[in-house]
Amino acid sequence: VQLQASGGGLVQAGGSLRLSCTGSGFGLDHDTGGWVRQAPGKEREVLSCINYSGATTYYGNSVKGRFAISRDNAKNTIYLQMDSLKPEDTAVYYCAANVVIPHASYCGLGAGAFLGQGTLVTVSS
């Protein structure tokens, strides 16, 4: 069971990146998913989540209006489109599966959630 994230890199402030997360060894297409990040010296932050069908999405206040989560179940992949990036978005980004997203106002990492390896996003000013 593995989650593989990709798409991180160095970008200037105001730029865009798209992260991808592909599941292997299990059916990510039948699971909830999301993205979290952790910057040095800061707590882990849940950014965005999506239910298995894509009909329900959640965004944290820090990324609402700038980031968009989507999924392609045929490819077992979840995406995070990140626009209008800011230096404070610099962090290691992790994809997550089996998150708790009962409605659009909440997403959490319950006991059954698991994370993939991270991908570094660096936003220069």
Confidence label for 26 from pLDDT (cuts 50, 70 and 90): confident
Tokens 């009909």: give the residue: 55
pLDDT in tens, 106-125: 999 989 999 999 999 999 99
Question: Do 45 and 93 meet the contact criterion of CB atoms below 8 Å apart?
Answer: no
- So what's the pLDDT on residue 30? 84
CA 83 to CA 89: how far, in whole Å?
11
pLDDT in tens, 38-94: 999 999 999 999 999 999 999 999 999 999 999 999 999 999 999 999 999 999 999
